[in-house]
Structure formats: C-alpha cells, structure tokens
Amino acid sequence: MTNRIVQLFPLPWYEAQSYQRVCALMADKDGLFGTYAEWFAAAQRTEQRLRGEGVTTIRVVLDLVQFPAWCAANRPGLHIDAKVRVAYAAAMAAEQYRASQAGPAH
C-alpha cells in the first residue's frame, strides 16, 4: 500500500440561519459580507474556481457551538478572525478526511 498525498482546500462554511450570529463572534466582522446571500454567492464562485483548477475542496461548517469551543480550546486569548477560521477549517477538514479514509470499524 502506498501513501498518497492529498491536498485539501478547506472552506469555512456558514449556514443561512446562523450566519449573522456567527459573524458577530468575529473580530473582523466589519470585513465580512453583510448578508448570507452575498457571502454564499462569493463562496460558490471561489469553490467553483478552485475545483476548476483541480483543487479538492471540503466545506467546514462554522456552527455556534463547536466553533467557539474549538477556538477556546485551541486558540485561547486570540481574536476570532480569518486566520482562526482557516485554522479551524483546516483542522476539521483533516479530521473529516481521515475519518472518510478509515472505512468501517471492525
């Protein structure tokens, strides 16, 4: 069995019903899209562009419970901003990928 290197591009992803509340947590909220519809359209364009370039993307939802808990445990004292969103998405994407490759437990 050979190890294959897989490059994933994690995309921090939001759900419509929690977009405004999640954005309110962010230190850089002034630079975020004002509405979910604006963010969603831009996110879809980014995802399509990356996939068109052959990049494997993985959506990582930032929810109101798991994301702040992860930040507190892994980035205590740091402002929640773009860097932290990307770090969270990368950590969760790696976990999701490893779980998908593990297959069913025996």
> How many structural domains is the chain composed of?
1
User: Within a domain: residue 105?
Assistant: no
Write out the residue range of the structural domain in which residue 29 sits.
Answer: 8-100
- Domain membership of residue 89 (yes or no) is yes
Amino acid type, 80: I
pTM value is 0.80
Which residue would you say has higher pLDDT here, 1 or 93? 93
Task: Write out pLDDT tens, residues 27-77.
Answer: 999 999 999 999 999 999 999 999 998 888 999 999 888 999 999 999 888
What angle is formed at CA 46 by the lines to CA 44 and CA 48, rounded to 5 degrees? 65
